[in-house]
């Protein structure tokens, strides 16, 4: 790209924390940034307010935060809902980079994981994006620090998107909540012409992608064939490219 990089502080969601995890103080870390989407009348927290975790007490299940006005408050996280937990990190952005929003914004009229390209960025954190929809969005990263590179997206956030070709990374050690038949279907079906899966363990892939995490109703006596059953025959006929073997096995699937 040849453009000067700007190192910007952003907030990266702690995706390993589930909704249940956020109810327990022991899952928080000092320095975490918390966003209260719904706010709290009891604590006097406004919707959309941010705070930083100062201390955690797993035994009493209490979290102490420092609010933007400097005030400290301690509470039981089970009493709050609509909470998102982030850690602060640094990203290097340049003009021309593909980026994605990692949180929605009503003010900017953008959705979570919406994609765009950086047209302008400066040291003050002022950013101008050209969204894939063609719309232009300008803001300061300090006012909405939810931006990341957009060259890869999670399977969940890729829903509704299409591409000519997709590369899918599957880590079989991530567990059934992340690696299952739904993940396989959503990921592979994003590609219009071709999809390739890269995995750390080819022998486990078929079993893991056949997991059905849905809860069928009484009328759903028989669901669709698991995605892994469709993938395995194709995968078994192909050898992984030499250039990919250091990073996993490539399982090519033609979607034409």
Residue corresponding to tokens 């592979």: 188
Same-domain pairing of 79 and 135: no
Is there a single domain that holds both residue 249 and residue 173? yes
**Is residue 5, in this structure, part of any structural domain at all?**
no
pTM: 0.66
Residue 180 lies in a domain: yes
Whole-number pLDDT of residue 200: 81
Domain for residue 219, yes or no?
yes
Work out the number of other CB atoms within 10 angstroms of the CB of residue 134.
Answer: 7
Rounded distance, CA 22 to CA 18, Å?
A: 6
CATH number (domain holding residue 34): 2.30.30.940
CA distance 256 to 251: 16
pLDDT exceeds cutoff 90 at 211? no
161 part of a folded domain: yes
Asked if the structure places residue 125 within a domain, the reply is yes
Specify the pLDDT at position 18. 83
- The answer to whether residue 187 sits within a structural domain is yes
- Record the tokens describing residue 244, joined without a space: 């990919």
Task: Say what the pLDDT of residue 166 is.
Answer: 78
Tell me, yes or no, whether 238 and 172 share the same domain. Answer: yes
Sign of the CA dihedral running 55, 61, 67, 71: negative
Six-digit token string for 135: 């719309």
Residues 115 and 138 in one domain: yes
Of the pLDDT bands very low, low, confident and very high (cuts 50, 70, 90), residue 236 is very low
CA atoms within 13 A on the CB side of 231: 28
Domain match, 197 and 247 both: yes
**One domain for residues 206 and 182:** yes
Q: Is the domain of 175 the same as that of 230?
A: yes
**Helices in 28-69 by DSSP H: which ranges?**
none
d(CA 208, CA 162) in angstroms, rounded, equals 24
Last residue of a domain, one of 70, 87, 104: 87
Give the domain CATH number at 110.
2.30.30
The reported pLDDT for the residue numbered 214 is 65
Q: Which one of 43, 62, 87 terminates a domain?
A: 87
Which of 62, 87, 112 is the endpoint of a domain?
A: 87
State the maximum Cα–Cα separation within the chain, in Å, rounded to a whole number.
62
**DSSP labels for 94-138?**
-TT-EEEESS-BTTTTB-TT-EEEEEEE-TT-EEEEEETTS-EEE
Q: Let me know whether 243 and 162 are in one domain.
A: yes
How far is Cα 39 from Cα 58, in angstroms, rounded to an integer?
23
**Which residue has better confidence, 13 or 179?**
13
Residues of the domain holding 105: 95-149
Q: In the 8-state DSSP scheme, what is residue 202?
A: H
Same domain, 126 and 170: no
Strand partners, 7: 92
DSSP string, 133-187: TS-EEEEETTTS--EEE-S---TGGGTT--EEEEEEEE-GGG-TTTSSHHHHHHH
169 & 238 share domain: yes
**Mean pLDDT, all residues of the chain:** 80
Pair 54, 116 in one domain: no
Domain count, the chain: 3
- Give residue 14's pLDDT: 86
Same domain, 160 and 145: no
In a domain, 168, yes or no: yes
Element at 231 (helix H, strand E) = helix 227-236
Q: Say if 4 falls within a structural domain.
A: no
């Amino acid at each position: 790209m040849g453009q000067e990089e700007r190192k910007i502080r952003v907030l990266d969601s702690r995706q390993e924390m589930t909704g249940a995890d956020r109810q327990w103080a022991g899952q928080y870390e000092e320095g975490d940034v918390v966003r209260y989407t719904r706010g709290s009348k009891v604590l006097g927290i406004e919707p959309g307010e941010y705070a930083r975790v100062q201390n955690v007490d797993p035994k009493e299940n209490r979290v102490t935060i420092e609010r933007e006005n400097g005030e400290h408050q301690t509470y039981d996280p089970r009493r709050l809902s609509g909470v998102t937990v982030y850690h602060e990190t640094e990203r290097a952005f340049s003009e021309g980079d593909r980026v994605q929003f990692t949180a929605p914004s009503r003010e900017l009229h953008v959705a979570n994981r919406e994609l765009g390209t950086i047209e302008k960025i400066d040291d003050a954190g002022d950013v101008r994006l050209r969204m894939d929809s063609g719309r232009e969005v300008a803001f300061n990263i300090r006012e909405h620090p939810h931006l990341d590179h957009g060259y890869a997206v999670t399977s969940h956030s890729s829903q509704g998107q299409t591409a000519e070709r997709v590369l899918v990374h599957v880590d079989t050690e991530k567990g059934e909540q992340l690696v299952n038949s739904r993940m396989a279907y959503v990921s592979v079906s994003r590609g219009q012409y071709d999809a390739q899966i890269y995995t750390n363990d080819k022998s486990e892939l078929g079993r893991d992608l056949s997991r059905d995490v849905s809860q069928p109703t009484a009328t759903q006596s028989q669901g669709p064939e698991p995605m892994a059953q469709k993938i395995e025959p194709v995968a078994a006929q192909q050898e992984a490219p030499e250039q990919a073997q250091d990073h996993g096995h490539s399982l090519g699937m033609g979607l034409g």
